[in-house]
Amino acid sequence: MLILDDIPSLEAPATGERRRRLRDLRHREFSRRTVIRGSVATASAVSLSLFGRQSVAQAAPQGYEIEPLVGGTCYQTSFYQSNAGCDLCGPSTSYTGVCETSGTWTGYHKSDPGRYKLRPDQCHDIGSIDYDGWLWKGPTSTCCAGCRSGTSCVVSKGPTVRCHDGYLCNHDGSNCINSICEWRTASGSTSGCPQ
């Protein structure tokens, strides 16, 4: 025989029990929110990181990526490693008129449909990147003239130059030859050098 007291009640649980259940539900909700917020923050950071990389790539289009001076492996040949002279971008020929002298790409090789063209990826790195030029620091024991496209020359020890690969062509775009824009980016020390 079923006694009325044995039937489960539909009325609210006791006050203490109700508090415990609410506390447990709030804790679970807090944990879910924490996980969701953490996931959103991580996704945002990854997106911003990828966007940042894309922005850098867009800022330096194909043909303008220069290998940094520190840890560089481009053109680390016996010529460059033993270069005590002032042929900073040699043995290739640097030409005076091939550098941009104004605008966004001041100090880089000129590029236009006719007379000047870029030579992308000519500087082979040991890693996965092929560069379009490189930074080179001159000897610190010899006074060298570091110039900006043949002008604004400063005679100093240890000047840093950017060597940017390109082509110099006839005015109709034919008969192109390899050329380098040599552009001083840092003067070095002028101590003991004639000015």
Tell me how many degrees the CA angle 68-75-80 measures, rounded to the nearest 5: 105
Please, are residues 86 and 145 in contact by the beta-carbon 8 Å criterion?
yes
On whether both 126 and 69 belong to a single domain, the answer is yes
Q: Is residue 193 part of a domain?
A: no
Question: Token digits for 150?
Answer: 């043949």
Q: In this predicted model, what pLDDT tens digit does every residue of 32-78 receive, in sequence order?
A: 554 445 454 444 444 434 433 333 444 578 899 988 876 556 665 54
pTM: 0.65
As a residue count, the chain comes to 195
Radius of gyration of the chain (CA): 33
**DSSP letter for each residue of 148-171:** ETTEEEEEEES-EEEEEEEEE--T
pLDDT given at position 139: 84
Range of the domain at 22: 14-59
On whether both 67 and 148 belong to a single domain, the answer is yes
Among 2-16, 45-59, 165-179, which stretch is predicted with the lowest mean pLDDT? 45-59
Q: Is residue 96 part of a domain?
A: yes
On whether both 89 and 181 belong to a single domain, the answer is yes
Q: Is residue 45 part of a domain?
A: yes
Average pLDDT of the chain?
Answer: 74
Number of domains present in the structure of the chain: 2
pLDDT band, residue 30 (cuts 50/70/90) = very low
Contacts of 186 (CB under 8 A, 6+ apart): 146, 159, 160
Q: Within a 13 Å sphere around the CA of 105, how many CA atoms are in the beta-carbon half?
A: 19
On whether both 129 and 107 belong to a single domain, the answer is yes
On whether both 32 and 116 belong to a single domain, the answer is no
On whether both 80 and 166 belong to a single domain, the answer is yes
**Pairwise CA distance, residues 181 & 93, whole Å:** 9
Q: Is residue 148 part of a domain?
A: yes
